[in-house]
Amino acid sequence: MKSRIVWFVAGSAAGVYAATKAKRAAYRLSMPGLVDQAAALGLGWRAFSAELRDGMETREREVVHELSGTPNIDHLSLETQHLVRPILDKEKP
């Protein structure tokens, strides 16, 4: 008797899982699902492009600093931050 209950529960769980998967697949193939997928693809492409553009700008600044011989501002600000902070704190009322 116990094994019948186990098989009944297992079959019910498999049926619910299959129904959910079928419902999701049907939605993805419907017109609203295709529109959602296209919108998600466009959003992903824009995010990727923004990340790529930021990386290119960062690398371009690094190359300009390397070729011009001037120190990198980011490294300079980190090294002198402990010197500038007391001066800035004194200026505040």
Residue-wise pLDDT tens digits, 76-93? 555 555 555 555 555 555
Q: State percent of the chain over pLDDT 70.
A: 74
* Residue 35 near residue 41, CB atoms below 8 Å: no
**pLDDT tens string 25-84:** 999 999 999 999 999 999 999 999 999 999 999 999 989 888 887 665 555 555 555 555
Per DSSP, the chain holds a count of helices (H) and strands (E) of: 3, 0
pLDDT for 8 equals 95
pLDDT digit string, tens, across residues 6-25 = 999 999 999 999 999 999 99
Please state the domain extents for the chain: 2-91
- DSSP for residue 92: -
